[in-house]
Amino acid sequence: MVLTAFAIAKEIGGIVDTQLNDVVITSASKLEEGNGNSLGFFSNPKYEQSLYETQCGAVIVPMGFKVQKPVSTLLIEHPNPYFAFCTILTNHFSPNLHRTGIESNHIHPSVDLGDSVHVAATAYIEEGAVLGDHSIVYPGVYLGRNVKIGKHCIIYPNVVIYSDCILGDHCIVQAGSVIGGDGFGFAPVNGKYIKIPQIGNVVIEDWVEIGSNCSIDRATMGSTVIKTGTKLDNLVQIAHNVEVGEHTVLAAQTGIAGSTKVGGYSQFGGQVGVAGHLTIAPHTSVGGQGGITGNITESHQKLTGTPATDVRTYLKSVAATRKIPELLKAIEDLQSEIENIKSSK
Amino acid sequence: MVLTAFAIAKEIGGIVDTQLNDVVITSASKLEEGNGNSLGFFSNPKYEQSLYETQCGAVIVPMGFKVQKPVSTLLIEHPNPYFAFCTILTNHFSPNLHRTGIESNHIHPSVDLGDSVHVAATAYIEEGAVLGDHSIVYPGVYLGRNVKIGKHCIIYPNVVIYSDCILGDHCIVQAGSVIGGDGFGFAPVNGKYIKIPQIGNVVIEDWVEIGSNCSIDRATMGSTVIKTGTKLDNLVQIAHNVEVGEHTVLAAQTGIAGSTKVGGYSQFGGQVGVAGHLTIAPHTSVGGQGGITGNITESHQKLTGTPATDVRTYLKSVAATRKIPELLKAIEDLQSEIENIKSSK
Amino acid sequence: MVLTAFAIAKEIGGIVDTQLNDVVITSASKLEEGNGNSLGFFSNPKYEQSLYETQCGAVIVPMGFKVQKPVSTLLIEHPNPYFAFCTILTNHFSPNLHRTGIESNHIHPSVDLGDSVHVAATAYIEEGAVLGDHSIVYPGVYLGRNVKIGKHCIIYPNVVIYSDCILGDHCIVQAGSVIGGDGFGFAPVNGKYIKIPQIGNVVIEDWVEIGSNCSIDRATMGSTVIKTGTKLDNLVQIAHNVEVGEHTVLAAQTGIAGSTKVGGYSQFGGQVGVAGHLTIAPHTSVGGQGGITGNITESHQKLTGTPATDVRTYLKSVAATRKIPELLKAIEDLQSEIENIKSSK
């Protein structure tokens, strides 16, 4: 089926002048990089000049937008051009839409496969697992015993999900991530470490996205939990029994130590570290490389540094440190002044 | 075979009143989460109330423990309830016990497979590799040429072990870890980098556990070594020619740069970084996000911060930094005092 | 074919006394660890004693080198012994040279396989992919739709390369790395996050090496770029739309946030973090755990700390912080002096 600018306008509920010639759309791009069959979008007035120079065949623009110069592209008006553009990308240009069928020979007969699922060759699914309708399992994925995956999930290549872990609907796990590995639990006995069996699981709620090469450990007992709508970037470490609240974003290489609870609607920068057994209030923002070493009881704080403090205190403290050489000088001056005073008496 | 509370008491050498009714045990849980067929344990007096409220069918309690209130669970007395509980978990509730057989078609005919080993489908084992008795290789694992794995090891899905690396007995490697990748060695030649071949290997001794998505590089020449009983958390980086001593724990996202030797019985928090070519004394403890930039010659130190110093110095320095605004004020006061003195003369 | 010391001398253009007996070479090693069939090298005068004690059958030494004591090994003279030694390692002792043939059944018929390529069993290659001459694909690798790999590349086990990504010639990707995963892009809408489709790709130029378990995200639109000759260590995070310049080295666990441009010929230590949307001048050096929070406009700087400053300022600031307790004491002394002066009037 051929996609055109008029069809796109209809799909997103946008406005287009149908007296102009329709345009076939085969790709999406930035305004600077498109060709006559590309769809672009324009929303930030700062880049208006790009609109007048674009080679894109059609561009989604804000509702009621008036051009200041002639354009050689078909305009589609929409109240939120970027959102509409993303909708078209998701619906028509996602590379994941086209996978179908069960290729793998390594699916235990007891596995419950939903409608329209795809399981690629070299994926391996153990006894008792469940895969919800429309979910996609790429090559090299391992789903352990009794793993439950909801509907409309995408599990990218070489993801490993250990036994008994549960994912909700509309979850995405990028390649190489490991969900449900043993928590880091060892009891010291006479200078050696005895492994504490980790018999809990990981529960991931709906609309969660996990980046690539993340490690989310199973609970010692009970569950490690990632709540609805939360997004993890790449190489993130979530230790056993951690709970990450809803609609939270954790940037790359962040690590949360065992049993800590991160409140919902929080935003952590890259390489943030949080110590174990803490409670972090909802709506907490932490700057990159910040280290949280105590409970955060008040919500809506913006923290940074190690140990993390609020951003203003941190900036003052950085500025203050740089003033120490001045202080040294000031003290020396005072000392000679006093010597002068004493000797002049 | 049905597991019961009386059988568990016998297995752990515990004491149970066999005049009471025996209970079938099908799971293990926290006291708060169990049902009539769950085994729990109680050892911390702080949580004694949970014992009186538990739904668990049987609970392991300290030897000689006297109840203060009636309980509706069968008590098994043991000198170390948690240790006994872990033993039962390991022996009966580990999901790994039940794997058997050689499923893979990708095992070189020269490979030496021990007794009772398991190699899952999609695992790939190269020429000359050795897999010790009772070891388990999950799907998607790659064992390179001449890799030697000892007895009773568990190699979780999608682990990669490059050629010539050696693991001892009773080792566990969580999913996605890479052992024996090329060390990061390049010789600068006219502003470009020439790869220095990494022809050493990695030697991992007995009872070592490696977390998920770790990277342990092979030596340039010789061996990168992880000694007996040491445990690595997830996403840990061990560079070429590093030596990590025995019975050491490295928490998640820690990185040890090339040729550094970490002394035995050490404990590193998460996200710790250690520079290359250093020697760290045994029994060194480093707080999360600490950065070690020089040799640590004295053992049993507790270090933190970057550059890492002992914890007390670090805390003083943090407190001091916060006092700088006060210092500024004090100096200004002194300056005006002196002005006053001078003008009053 | 048997490799001998005379053949090695010829291959590297070195000088050997062919009146002595030739030696069969079957391995390469450090001087301290070799046997009669090992090749070693000697270049650092500090280790000259090792030369006199070595068991190696042959050793590459600097051109014109004169022994001070008798040696029991055959000497091969060369202007750059280490470089010559590396050449022999690469040509004769690389474990990767011997792989041939197409083992995998999971290669789409449209895939364009070059001459002398190797694709191991359990590798999976999607429609439209291209694999250049002499490239090697290990087991468990996933190459997405339209991925293009140049000539003489080595893709180690369980690497995942998403659709449309491009690698140049002579690239090496160590095991478990993920190239082209979705960038971390979400639009906040009413407190929730809507996924922004990531329709760009990753472009990796020639002679690039990527360590193990790295994550290099595809661009939102356009390309994430790693330029010629650049080397990434393990567990490195490269976010969407980042550009890393040519001949740059990024040590392990470093993370570069979205849209940042790192100038060529730069050197970053381990665990460095760089914020998003920055421009870092060429020839920038950053110490381990450094955090870059602003543009670096001047090239050839050596930075360290968070926020990163030049090394001298950083060291002064660390030293200064440690002096604060002294400052407090000095101020107290001044205060009492002034009290004395005032009371003595």
Task: State residue B345's pLDDT score.
Answer: 63
Task: State residue B97's pLDDT score.
Answer: 57
Q: Do B235 and C233 touch (CB under 8 A)?
A: no
Residue B276 pLDDT greater than 60, yes or no: yes
Arithmetic mean of pLDDT, A259-267: 98
Per-residue CA distances from A317 to A225, A270, A289, B324 (Å) = 36, 22, 16, 8
For A214, nearest residue in chain B (alpha carbons): B213
**Min Cα separation A90/chain B (Å):** 29
Residue C259 pLDDT greater than 60, yes or no: yes
Task: State residue B92's pLDDT score.
Answer: 87
Task: State residue B316's pLDDT score.
Answer: 82
Among A2-6, A152-156, B337-341, C11-15, the least confident range: B337-341
CATH topology match: B5-93 vs B101-313: no
Arithmetic mean of pLDDT, C176-198: 93
Which of chain C's residues have a Cβ under 8 Å away from the Cβ of B157? none
CATH code of the domain occupying B5-93: 3.40.1390.10
| Integer Cα distance of C239 and C245 in angstroms | 14
Residue B13 pLDDT class (50, 70, 90 cuts): very high
Residue A54 or residue C93, greater confidence? A54
Among A58-62, A145-149, B161-165, C320-324, the least confident range: C320-324
Alpha helices in chain B (DSSP H): 5-12, 48-53, 81-88, 311-322, 324-344
Residue A38 or residue B333, greater confidence? A38
Q: Do A235 and C239 touch (CB under 8 A)?
A: no
Arithmetic mean of pLDDT, B149-161: 97
* Residues ≥6 apart with Cβ < 8 Å to A170: A150, A151, A152, A153, A206, A207
Chain A interface disruption, residue of B271, B309, B341, B344, most A CBs within 10 A = B271
Which of chain B's residues have a Cβ under 8 Å away from the Cβ of A215? 176, 211-213, 234-235, 252
Residue C215 pLDDT class (50, 70, 90 cuts): very high
| Integer Cα distance of C191 and C287 in angstroms | 38
Residue C95 pLDDT class (50, 70, 90 cuts): low
Q: Do A328 and C320 touch (CB under 8 A)?
A: yes
Residue C182 pLDDT class (50, 70, 90 cuts): very high
Catalytic residue among A118, A152, A240, A283: A240
Cα A30 vs. chain centroid, distance in angstroms?
Answer: 22
* Residues ≥6 apart with Cβ < 8 Å to B113: B102, B107, B119, B131
CATH code of the domain occupying C159-307: 2.160.10.10
Alpha helices in B3-154 (DSSP H): 5-12, 48-53, 81-88
Task: State residue B206's pLDDT score.
Answer: 98
Catalytic, A240? Answer yes
Task: State residue B190's pLDDT score.
Answer: 84
Q: Do A142 and B157 touch (CB under 8 A)?
A: yes
Q: Do C176 and B341 touch (CB under 8 A)?
A: no
Chain C interface disruption, residue of A324, A331, A335, most C CBs within 10 A = A324
Q: Do C181 and A172 touch (CB under 8 A)?
A: no
Arithmetic mean of pLDDT, A109-114: 97
Q: Do C288 and B142 touch (CB under 8 A)?
A: no
**Min Cα separation A213/chain B (Å):** 7
**Min Cα separation C267/chain B (Å):** 12
Arithmetic mean of pLDDT, B236-253: 98
Per residue in A65-111, pLDDT (tens digit) is 999 999 999 999 999 999 899 889 888 887 665 677 999 999 999 99
For A266, nearest residue in chain C (alpha carbons): C191
Task: State residue B100's pLDDT score.
Answer: 79
Arithmetic mean of pLDDT, C83-99: 80
Which of chain C's residues have a Cβ under 8 Å away from the Cβ of B344? 345
Task: State residue B189's pLDDT score.
Answer: 84
Most confident of B96-100, B233-237, C17-21, C32-36: B233-237
Arithmetic mean of pLDDT, B70-94: 91
Q: SS3 for C197-219, per residue?
A: CCCCEEEECCCCEECCCCEEECC
Residue A11 pLDDT class (50, 70, 90 cuts): very high
Q: Which fold has domain A5-92?
A: 3.40.1390
Q: Which residues of B are catalytic?
A: 240
Task: State residue C333's pLDDT score.
Answer: 84
Per residue in C20-55, pLDDT (tens digit) is 999 999 999 889 988 999 999 999 899 999 999 999
Extract the tokens encoding C41: 């090298």
Query: Pairing mode, if any, of strands C172-173 and C154-155?
Result: parallel
CATH code of the domain occupying B101-313: 2.160.10.10
| Integer Cα distance of A181 and C44 in angstroms | 46
Arithmetic mean of pLDDT, B222-251: 98
**Min Cα separation A340/chain B (Å):** 10
Per residue in A238-247, pLDDT (tens digit) is 999 999 999 9
Looking at chain C, the whole-number percentage of residues with pLDDT higher than 90 is 79
Residue C273 pLDDT greater than 90, yes or no: yes
Task: State residue A98's pLDDT score.
Answer: 64
As a whole number, the mean pLDDT across chain A is 93
User: Closest Cα partner for C305 from A137, A249, A322, A170?
Assistant: A322
Residue C227 pLDDT greater than 60, yes or no: yes
Contact between B199 and C87 (Cβ < 8 Å): no
Among A171-175, A329-333, B77-81, the least confident range: A329-333
Element (H, E) at A313: helix A311-322
Nearest CB to A213; choose among C140, C178, C275: C178
**Min Cα separation C122/chain A (Å):** 6
For B289, nearest residue in chain C (alpha carbons): C289
| Integer Cα distance of C244 and B289 in angstroms | 26
**Residue given tokens 């378990």 in the structure block:** C213
Name the residue ranges covered by the structural domains of chain A.
Answer: 5-92, 101-313, 320-344
| Integer Cα distance of C200 and C213 in angstroms | 21
Contact between C179 and C198 (Cβ < 8 Å): no
Q: Do A86 and C195 touch (CB under 8 A)?
A: yes
**Min Cα separation A150/chain B (Å):** 22
Q: Do A193 and B95 touch (CB under 8 A)?
A: no
Residue B205 pLDDT greater than 80, yes or no: yes
Q: Do C324 and B317 touch (CB under 8 A)?
A: yes
Query: Collapsing DSSP states into helix, strand and coil, what is residue C340?
Result: helix
Chain A interface disruption, residue of C124, C146, C220, C328, most A CBs within 10 A = C124
Nearest CB to C327; choose among A82, A120, A331: A331
Residue C245 pLDDT greater than 70, yes or no: yes
Per-residue CA distances from C345 to A314, A345, B312, B340, C342 (Å) = 44, 9, 43, 13, 6
